Amino acid sequence: MTGEGINENREYEAVKSNGVVELKMDRNWELLKRKCRTKMRFWNLNDPLSNCLKRGAAKILFYGLAFMSIFLVFLSSAFAESINSRAAVVMDVLTGRMLYAKHPKRRLPPASTTKLMTAIVAIEKADLDNVVTISKNASIVRPLKAGFIQGDKVTVEKLLYAALIKSANDAAVALAEAVAGSEKGFVELMNQKAISIGAKDTKFINSTGLPGPHQYTTALDLSKIMSCVLSYPKLKEIIATPAVELSTDKGEILSLKNTNKLLWSDGDLIGGKTGYTFRAGHCFVCAAEREKEVIIVALLGSSSREHLWKEAEALIDKGFQIIGNKKRLQSIHIQNGRQNKELSGSFGKYSIHGRNRFGHPYI
């Protein structure tokens, strides 16, 4: 309501007390209310100025939130241009939503990030204490190995450490043979598991990630696979281990150092898995936690390890920044809602979030 229809000799004063706007009018105000009743049915007749202020504040908040959302999208678009990897995703683990994405569904070679699925299937199908005898086939696989030789007896747990920390192909093949009798049979289990967790744009042809036709994943699917890994405490513990020494039944000690460089430099990191082949480029998927929020970052097809680490760190920071921005916007909205509730205490059923008599929302 504007000042129209109010005589010049009407005196009123807006007083702000405890966040509530009070309107003080002279004794003729009651007469004026009755005259305007037909025009003000969906307003609060006891406090029209407060209602106007509330509606104005709501519009400001609405447009402010809209502008902030557009601004964040613009920043994300600009940020995307600085990510040189062929595909990337930042996922909020709690909601499963993507916070950032660059070609999230582009099918690309997974390289040794494949071993995450190898580990998932192995831990589901075999006991950690099961002893595995290393076959000739497993001992000669190349190129990256832990150093197991034919006839070595090693537990499933130690093989998992070797596969995820050292990215050892001999350990991955040994796990596959121990679980399914052959790598081919094991791969079928891997693909079944991928489908069951929603990684429908992923297909494996081996347990190692070594290059081959029709083996692919996406940054989005890789994020889902890492999310699945986090649900297994033992696997979560292994990917967080910087280095480990393993012993065989013959007393040989194998010293393994994690290929994930960020374990030494990023305090937020839970753990991750690297990968590389000439065709796949440098790949990495990791999980990080900050202030009880957990995100996953997946990168496929980076040109170098140096770029890989820089982009991973940038995306980790970006992910938590986006979550922080959303929390602040939600906090503003909640605070505004509380203020509206206080302001509408005497407004009956009408409020800033309600609808007028025509069924239209106030905003």
Q: 3-state secondary structure string, the chain?
A: CCCCCCCCCCCCEEEEECCEEEEECCCCHHHHHHHCHHHCCCCCCCCHHHHHHHHHHHHHHHHHHHHHHHHHHHHHHHHHCCCCCCEEEEEECCCCCEEEEECCCCCECCHHHHHHHHHHHHHHHCCCCCEEECCHHHHHCCCCCCCCCCCCEEEHHHHHHHHHHCCCHHHHHHHHHHHHCCHHHHHHHHHHHHHHCCCCCCECCCCCCCCCCCCEECHHHHHHHHHHHCCCHHHHHHHCCCEEEEECCCCCEEEEECCCHHHHCCCCEEEEEEEEECCCEEEEEEEEEECCEEEEEEEEEECCHHHHHHHHHHHHHHHHHHHHHHHHHHHHHHHHHHHHHHHCCCCCCCCCCCECCCCCECC
The pLDDT assigned to 326 comes to 82
The pLDDT assigned to 255 comes to 95
pLDDT digits (tens, 9 = 90+) for 192-215: 999 999 999 999 999 999 999 999
Domain spanning 110-265: CATH 3.10.129.10: no
Give per-residue burial for 58-71: e unless 16+ CB within 10 Å, then b.
beebeeeeeeeeee
The pLDDT assigned to 143 comes to 87
For the chain, give every domain's residue range.
13-72+329-343, 110-265
The pLDDT assigned to 63 comes to 62
- Pick the catalytic residue from 50, 85, 167, 227: 167
The pLDDT assigned to 221 comes to 98
35 given a catalytic annotation: no
Q: Which residue has the tokens 């001992």?
A: 139
- Pick the catalytic residue from 54, 115, 193, 224: 115
User: Quick check: pTM over 0.85?
Assistant: no
115 given a catalytic annotation: yes
- Pick the catalytic residue from 112, 227, 344, 351: 112
16 given a catalytic annotation: no
Q: Which residues does the chain have with pLDDT short of 70?
A: 1-81, 331-363
Tokens of 127: 């006991």
The pLDDT assigned to 202 comes to 98
The pLDDT assigned to 82 comes to 84
The pLDDT assigned to 328 comes to 79
